[in-house]
DNA sequence: CTGATGATTATGTATATACATTATATCCAT
DNA sequence: ATGGATATAATGTATATACATAATCATCAG
């Protein structure tokens, strides 16, 4: 393999293997070759130069263009496949995907951090805790066994003097038996649970509701005020660990999700 | 560190390079080796067997365990690094990352598909369209140039006889000049835009609001009814393409975000 | 024209090797 | 001890090679 320092290869920046006499000209860390290929191809796709359905050059053509081995090209393209920008078909080639669904990445932080990042003092207040048998409604929510026992917690998270969020939680004692000994008076159940149980998946449901009388009172808002409700179910290998409903009052709270174009597959 | 179901290599299913005489025993498509390594390691992390901060085996150790080349191990671990499960430090080793934020993946589909997947007939109705210069408020929203021109569209998406979603959109004519010739009477701007402009990033803001008088009338609901509002800004390489506000009436509409395991983290 | 067959070709996976990079550890002289 | 040079170990990147797999294409018999 050759890698001639200044020619043929498209858009190639100078200074490749030249650390011979003048080490001072370090040239600001050029990225690795497979990254450059990835970025070039990504750029062509995002700019529209290669529209959806377009067949990108074969691996052996890119190998030729960049004067590198096939493995290097393959690494770049494989990554773009994982990101959902490209689809590959044997014998046929690699094609720019048609964007279907956008997949947004919603970052969900601990409530304490959320509050503190607003520059407000955080306070946690547990309101109620009881352990009881699962009712039919709980089993619908969490797919529990008939005789399952739960811990039910109601708590408020404050930002300054204002209620920031109402937390209503169920914990499956079959999955987290230690919860029976925990009062949750000082520590919020979310933080406690992470330290106890590794978990493998979760599901979020986000909707807008009007505050009912009880919720309104707890959150110090008028009944009927629109609230953002996030319901999260968390489980670990098929076993439900916890169900939590977080109710954020008023129109102030926002969930922010950053996006990248994608259609199937993994998140990045 | 032993997982011996059959022999030396951990968790290794039989039939690996034995295609000598009996090709009939094909053994139900075992996954590739690097995938198996990836899944094994991921499993150990998600199960909590390797907690945050734990140093996973060195590449050369995994090479030994799985009786494969370093490149294969490297491919698996590199993927886990991209997923945020593992952090690597040269000369030191690879470590299970500590939790920071949980990231949920929110799939956002075309509204037509959303409606149809509910088994309801979809109908689109454009209400208004005008092209105009950007106002100060628009520029705050979209970071536009002073003299930018926009197309403004208001439309309704119906599920059966009921309004499903109110769409209010601005399109930056500098980014999509073709929009000036498009009436958007038959085609919804979302679908049209996707076919016109490749986009590289977007930002979503999700919140609950009470319907104002105008919105309430359009959506055939009472003023003040809680609505889920999704605001999306989309751009391509630093240029804003479009801003859209989607207002879903009532408490019925839900956004669902599946959590693709990325690591055992906070916000349970 | 139709359908089977086999060649061709692009991708998928894996190996063995090489050298670069970067922390860490060790040792030696002060 | 302390500071600094040196060795060492683990990851990062890249190459050349090999064979497997799957889809397409061309060919040819019927």
| For testing contact with chain A, the best of B46, B198, B243 (most A CBs within 10 A) | B198
In A1-144, alpha helices (H): 33-46, 59-66, 70-82, 111-116, 136-142
* Tokens read off for A229: 């409700």
Both A50 and A157 in one domain: the answer is no
Task: Quote the tokens at residue A260.
Answer: 């990248």
> Is A268 inside a domain boundary?
no
Residue numbers in B near A198 (CB within 8 A): 46-48, 51, 264
Q: What CATH number does the domain containing B163 carry? A: 3.40.1410.10
Q: Closest Cα to residue B10, out of A212, B49, B28? A: B49
- Classified as helix, coil or strand, A187 is coil
Q: Do A207 and A232 touch, CB atoms closer than 8 A?
A: no
Euclidean distance between CA atoms B66 and B40, whole angstroms: 11
- Bases on strand D under 7 Å from any protein CB: 8-18, 20-24
Per-chain mean pLDDT for chain A: 83
Q: How confident is residue A16, by pLDDT bands cut at 50, 70 and 90?
A: very low
Co-location of B59 and B85 in the same domain: yes
pLDDT at A47: 78
Tell me the C-alpha distance between B168 and B111, whole Å. 14
Number of domains present in the structure of chain A? 2
What integer best gives the mean pLDDT of chain B?
83
How far is it, in rounded angstroms, from Cα B99 to Cα B125? 46
Q: Report residue A120's pLDDT band, with 50, 70 and 90 as the boundaries.
A: very high
Structural contact between residues B225 and A247, judged by C-beta atoms closer than 8 angstroms: no
- Residue A201 in any domain: the answer is yes
Bridge partners, residue A234, by sequence? A202, A242
Strand C CB shell (< 7 Å): A 19, 58-60, 70-71, 74, 77-78, 81, 88-94; B 32-35, 67-72, 75, 89-92
Domain edge (last residue) among A55, A70, A98: A98
Residue from A63, A78, A185, A187 nearest A127 by CA: A185
- Confidence (pLDDT) at B30: 78
Where is the domain boundary, B98, B114, B129?
Answer: B98
A201-215, B4-18, B80-94, B203-217: least confidently modelled range: B4-18
**Does residue A95 sit at the B interface (CB-CB below 8 Å)?**
no
**pLDDT single digits (tens) B79-123:** 999 988 899 999 999 999 876 566 777 877 889 989 999 999 999
Please count the other Cβ atoms lying within 10 Å of the Cβ belonging to residue B139: 14
Q: Is residue A253 part of a domain?
A: yes
Assigned domain for B262 exists: no
B110 shares its domain with B30 = no
Are B195 and B122 within one domain?
yes
Residues 74-103 of A with CB under 7 A from strand D: 75, 89-92
Q: Say yes or no: A168 and A247 in one domain.
A: yes
Nucleotides of C under 7 A from a protein CB: 8-18, 21-24
Q: CA(B176)–C1'(C9) in Å?
A: 40
Domain annotation covers residue B65: yes
B263 part of a folded domain: no
Contacts of A75 (CB under 8 A, 6+ apart): A34
Same domain, B27 and B73: yes
DSSP code at position A198: -
Q: Which two tokens stand for residue B128?
A: 């208004």
User: Using an 8 Å Cβ cutoff, are B63 and B73 in contact?
Assistant: yes
Beta strands in A70-198 (DSSP E): 86-89, 93-96, 102-108, 122-133, 149-159, 162-172
Q: Mark whether B42 and B168 lie in a shared domain.
A: no
**Cα-Cα end-to-end distance for chain A:** 32
The band of A257, judged by pLDDT with boundaries at 50, 70 and 90, is: confident
Do B141 and B57 sit in the same domain of this protein? no
Q: Does B237 touch chain A (CB under 8 A)?
A: yes
Question: Number of CB pairs < 8 Å for A and B?
Answer: 202
- Position B260 confidence tier, pLDDT thresholds 50, 70, 90: low
Q: Domain containing A89 — which CATH number?
A: 1.10.10.10
Which of B45, B40, B78 has the alpha carbon at shortest distance from B59? B78
CB-based contacts of A235, cutoff 8 Å, min separation 6: A199, A200, A201, A202, A241
Among A58-72, A96-110, B53-67, B106-120, the minimum mean pLDDT is found in A96-110
Cβ within 8 Å of B, A 197-226? 197-210, 224-226
B214 pLDDT exceeds 80? Answer: yes
Q: Same domain, yes or no, for A109 and A94? A: no
- pLDDT band for position A198 (cuts 50, 70, 90): low
Q: Which of A61, A83, A98 is the last residue of a domain?
A: A98
What b/e string do you get for B81-110 counting C-beta neighbours within 10 Å, with b at 16 or more?
eebbbbeeeeeeebbbbebebbbbbbebeb
Q: Is the CB of B26 less than 7 A from some atom of nucleic acid strand D? A: no
Q: Distance (Å) from the C-alpha of residue B79 to the closest C-alpha of chain A?
A: 9
Q: State the pLDDT at residue B4.
A: 34
Residue B16 has pLDDT above 50, yes or no: no
Instruction: Specify whether A114 is located in the same domain as A238.
Output: yes
Q: Is residue B84 domain-shared with residue B155, that is, in the same domain? A: no
Within this chain, do residues A20 and A40 fall inside the same structural domain, yes or no? Answer: yes
The H-assigned helical ranges of chain B are 33-46, 59-66, 70-82, 111-116, 136-142, 189-196, 213-219
Residues comprising chain A, all counted: 268
Whether the CB of B82 is less than 7 Å away from nucleic strand D comes out as no
- Backbone φ and ψ for A235, nearest 5 degrees, come out as -145, 165
Q: Using a CB-CB distance cutoff of 8 angstroms, which residues of chain B are in contact with residue A105? A: 103-106
Q: Would an 8 Å CB–CB cutoff place B238 in contact with chain A?
A: no
Helix axes A33-46, A70-82, angle to 10 degrees: 50
What average pLDDT does this structure show over A230-241?
Answer: 84
Residue A181 falls inside a structural domain: yes
Residue A238 Ramachandran class (φ > 0 left, ψ -120 to 50 alpha, else beta): left
List the structure tokens of A24: 């001072």
Q: Is residue B4 part of a domain?
A: yes
What is the domain range of residue B29?
A: 1-98
């Amino acid at each position: 393999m050759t890698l001639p320092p200044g020619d043929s290869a498209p858009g190639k920046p100078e200074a490749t293997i030249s650390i011979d006499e003048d080490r001072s000209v370090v040239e600001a860390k050029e990225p690795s070759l497979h990254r450059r290929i990835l970025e070039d191809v990504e750029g062509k796709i995002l700019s529209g130069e290669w529209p959806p359905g377009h067949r990108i050059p074969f691996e052996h053509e890119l190998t030729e263009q960049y004067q590198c081995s096939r493995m290097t090209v393959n690494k770049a393209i494989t990554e773009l496949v994982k990101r959902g920008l490209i689809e590959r078909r044997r014998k046929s080639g690699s094609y720019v995907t048609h964007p279907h669904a956008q997949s947004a990445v919603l970052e969900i932080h601990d409530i304490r951090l959320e509050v503190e990042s607003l520059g407000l003092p955080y306070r946690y207040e547990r309101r109620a805790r009881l352990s009881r048998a699962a009712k039919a409604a709980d089993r619908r929510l969490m797919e529990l066994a008939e005789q399952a026992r739960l811990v039910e917690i109601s708590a408020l998270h404050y930002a300054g003097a204002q209620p920031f969020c109402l937390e209503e939680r169920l914990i499956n004692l079959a999955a987290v038996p230690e919860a029976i000994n925990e009062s949750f008076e000082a520590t919020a159940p979310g933080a406690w649970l992470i330290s106890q149980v590794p978990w493998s998946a979760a599901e979020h449901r986000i909707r807008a509701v009007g505050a009912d009388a009880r919720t309104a009172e707890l959150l110090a808002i008028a009944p009927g005020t629109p609230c953002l409700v996030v319901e999260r179910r968390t489980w670990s290998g098929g076993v439900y660990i916890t169900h939590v409903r977080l109710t954020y009052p008023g129109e102030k709270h926002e969930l922010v999700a950053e996006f990248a174009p994608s259609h199937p597959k993994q998140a990045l």
